[in-house]
Structures are given as structure tokens and as C-alpha cells.
Structure 1
């Protein structure tokens, strides 16, 4: 593939990310693999792409005090060590990238499926949680008593699966926060999720880099294409109805998940 193709791919993903707020990993990694990039290189490069592209958003949220640092660090206490251990396992338990390709493929398909369901079902889940917020619902009460432990456990799960697939740090992360912290304002959910995603994808991406899974020129071209289009997509997002965008994007990810699960 030539440089223009990667710039175009970055522009397409950046525009959709700006338009919908969905993390680029859900779209970038499948797109790169369909362009002929080896899966392990697509994942490693996309993780660092996510870390760089989300950093600006994290800085803005920090300036506006939209980050709950306690929750961010609690999630990271589970996800960052899990990401490092996952990279260690890949590097030391398998002879080469081809020997664990099936693990990456399955993880990618699974996380695309989870992301699709998160997008499609999020409004219904939020409504249900809002209805139960002030009730003595048994499950909700149990979750509230064990919130810190559950946050760390979900961080571990995110750390492993995001490292294996590059998908889910944004979309799945939001659903984790909405489910565990229903009283948290949505702007703080987003700010906390973006900041945690920067930490997680940076650690996971550097781990993949240590195994030679990052294509630096390709990463540069992707960023050149995507960063301006994220701004344009964000500007246009207020003019489009979310209830139209969400089903289209969710269905697209659902179809992509089938492709990788049954690859």
C-alpha cells in the first residue's frame, strides 16, 4: 500500500471518530487488516495511534476538570499491569507472531462484538440504570458495596483484551464506567474514559513496539490523515442525529466482528 492510502484511511477513521466519538481502534485495526497489513502490526500501530490521538482530548478534559482521577487510577491499577503481563506472555510463550495470530483474531472479533453491542444497547442500559439509581435493587446494592474491586477487575479485563485486539478502550470503557458509576455525569464518564484509554493504549502500544509490531511510517501517515478530520467530524457531529448514527455504526462493527470471529 502507498502512503496516500494510509492518509486516506486515517482521514476516514478520524472523521468517523469525530462524528460519533467512538474510539478509532474499533475501526482502524479492521481497516488496516483489510488493506493487507499483518494483524499484529495493525494492532501494535493502532495502539500507539490511539494513545497519540486521544492525548489531546485528555488534555482538554483535564483543563475542564472532567476527569475523575480516582476512578482513572483505579482502572489503571488493573489494566496497566494486565497489559504489560499480556505483552510478556506473547513475547515469551510463543515463538513468533504467526503462532498467536489466532488469539489476536479471536480477541479482535470478540471486542468488535462487545463494542457493537455497547453502541447499540447503551441508551437502554443508561435508562435502566437511571431507573434503578435510587432503588434498593439487589444487584445495584451489591455493586455499590464492591465498586472498587469491580473497577480493578474490569481494568484487568480491559488490559488483556485491548492489548490483544487494540479495540474497546473507548467504547467498552464507557460502558464499564456507566455501569459501575451511574451517578457520574456523562462528561466526566467520557473524560475519565479517554484519560484511562491514553494510559492503557500507551503501555500496550509500547509493549507491542518492543516486539517490533509498530510500523512507524504508517503511524505517521495515519495521524496526518486523521487529526484534521477528527476536528471536522466533531464540528459536524452536532448537526447529525445520534439515533441515526448509532445503529449504522453498531451494525457495521457487528458485521466486522463476524468476519474476524469466523476467520
Structure 2
């Protein structure tokens, strides 16, 4: 127990609590924030990925159980996603191990996480845009049983699984926006339920192989779970009192800058990009809002059709 009450463990506890709040506020996957945070705390990237995957397997199982009990997932769609995602997610740990020496593995994982964070920021922005655009232009008739496209669905699962297996990032971003594009008529609650259900075996398979290859460090894992669970609960409780648009824009900026830092972009360049995003971001949003006819004062990140709210509600009921 004394090993769990250390400065490092308390730092992880505090960071995981903060990340949990953000997850509860926005519903986005915690891996995109927690894994790079662990790396910046000085934890080896491979260990950060392994322990975050184990913690995520616990958290996602809770949300998936709620959706499964209420009958919201599209089980056929989830099954095709699993066909693609489970094998590639399981391969992630072995791909990292094949990189060779520890320093080569560390460099590979940091680069992969950097790319994954930039991809997550892009898909997170695209998802918000698609939701607002659909709301503004008129949503297509919703259905709980869309026509399944097996080949495309398996491919989405395979790419998403590989990304999660190597970086622990992407199960709630890349796969979700891909499902939005493939199945625009799927109702929001079914979309979230399907994503959560397929994410459980995906993350479990990745976690198992990472534990086999890397092992698990309870000094990291226990603070992750103890901090993240109450943080997520608190974030979900205060979500309606916090401006979602500001939080979500901030997340996109943080993910982008963190990804660039992990990719080795010089700090001066990162600072210039940060200033550009802060200054030019509102102008870009104004142009996009004007293009799709969103009234002034409506935030593209505060979407009316809020898929993330369905995810938070399921976790809250759990």
C-alpha cells in the first residue's frame, strides 16, 4: 500500500480525476487525454498505453452493460466491427515489441500517439460539424435497422482496432465518425450503444496482449481507476452547467498541440500554431457557420443532436 501513496501515484490520481471530468463533460474517450498525460508525467509510453487500456476495459464495460441491458446496440453492426477490430487490436502489443530495443519502441509509440491525437482532433471536429449540418439541413429519417455494409464496416473496425492496439487512442473517435458517415440514419442512442459494445472486446483484446508483453503496473493502474471513475461521474453531473462549445474547442486545441509535441515539432512552432488556432479559430468557425446557414450565436461544438450526451447518460445511469 505504501507504494500506492507516493508522489507519482498521487500525480496520476489527480490527473486521471481531471481527465475523468473532461470525459464526463464531453463524452470523448479518455485515452486521447490520459495516455499523453501519463507520458508527460514521465511514464514510459508502452507502460502508459498498457495500463490505460486495462483501465479503459473496466470503464467501457460499465457503459456497454447499460446499453446492452436497455437493448440499444445494433448487434449485427457491432459484430461486423468486432470481426475487424479484435484481431488488429490484439496485434498492437506485438507490433510495438517488433520495433526492437526499448528506445525504438518508445520512439515508435510516441510517434504513433502523436499521429493518433491529430487524427482524433480532426475527427472530433468533423463529428461536431456533421451533427450540426445534419440538424440544420434536416436529418434523414432515423432507423434502428439500417442496411449493413459488411466490408466497409470490417475495414473501419480493423483500422480503429489497430490504432487502439498501438496507442490506446481512437475507439471513441475514429470509429464513431466512420459510423456516422456509413450509417447516417442510425439513431443516436443506437450509434452510441453499438460503439460502446464493440469497444469492449476491442479494448479487452488490446489490454490482454499488452499485459502479456509489457505487464501491468498497479502503481499506475489503481490511481487511474480510482481517479477516473469519480472524475467521470462529477463531469457528467455538471455537464449541463458548463458551456460545451468552449470545452470542446479547448479539447481540439489541446489534442492538436499535444500531438505535435509528441511528433517532435519545435516548441516555437507549436506556440505559433497555438496562437494561430486561438486567433484564427473563431474566424474559421464563423465562415463555416455562414456556409451552412447556422444562425449567429449557435456553436458548432454545442450540437443540437448531441451523440455525446447519450453516452454520458448511459454512464450516469450505470
What TM-score does the superposition give when structure 1 sets the normalisation length? Answer: 0.89
Equivalent of 1:116 in 121, 144, 148: 121
Does structure 1 residue 222 correspond to structure 2 residue 224? yes
Q: How does 1:1-263 map to 2 (within 5 A)?
A: 1-91=7-97, 93-127=98-132, 147-262=149-264
Q: Deviations over 1:47-96 (max 9, x none)?
A: 111111111111111122221111111111001111223333434x3444
| The structure with more radius of gyration | 2
Following the alignment from structure 1 to structure 2, what is the Cα–Cα distance between the partners of residues 65 and 238? 26
Following the alignment from structure 1 to structure 2, what is the Cα–Cα distance between the partners of residues 120 and 6? 28
Q: CA deviation at 1:99?
A: 2.5
Unaligned runs of 5+ in 2: 1-6, 141-145, 266-318
SS at match of 1:199: helix
Following the alignment from structure 1 to structure 2, what is the Cα–Cα distance between the partners of residues 18 and 128? 25
Following the alignment from structure 2 to structure 1, what is the Cα–Cα distance between the partners of residues 242 and 208? 36
Query: Which position in structure 1 is the counterpart of 2:287?
Result: none
* Closer/same/farther in 2, CA of residues 94 and 147 from structure 1, 3 Å limit: same
CA contact (8 A) 2:20 2:231 kept: yes
CA contact (8 A) 1:23 1:169 kept: yes
Q: CA deviation at 1:106?
A: 1.7
Figure out how many residues of one structure are paired with residues of the other and give that number. Answer: 254
* Closer/same/farther in 2, CA of residues 120 and 94 from structure 1, 3 Å limit: closer
Following the alignment from structure 1 to structure 2, what is the Cα–Cα distance between the partners of residues 43 and 85? 14
Q: CA deviation at 1:145?
A: 8.5
Following the alignment from structure 1 to structure 2, what is the Cα–Cα distance between the partners of residues 194 and 19? 17
Q: CA deviation at 1:123?
A: 2.5
Q: CA deviation at 1:216?
A: 2.3
What TM-score does the superposition give when structure 2 sets the normalisation length? Answer: 0.74
Unaligned runs of 5+ in 1: 135-143
Following the alignment from structure 1 to structure 2, what is the Cα–Cα distance between the partners of residues 94 and 255? 26
Following the alignment from structure 1 to structure 2, what is the Cα–Cα distance between the partners of residues 132 and 234? 29
Following the alignment from structure 2 to structure 1, what is the Cα–Cα distance between the partners of residues 214 and 168? 16
SS at match of 1:2: helix
SS at match of 2:241: coil
Following the alignment from structure 1 to structure 2, what is the Cα–Cα distance between the partners of residues 146 and 174? 15
Following the alignment from structure 1 to structure 2, what is the Cα–Cα distance between the partners of residues 80 and 38? 25
Q: Deviations over 1:174-231 (max 9, x none)?
A: 1111111111111211111122222111110111100124212311111111111211
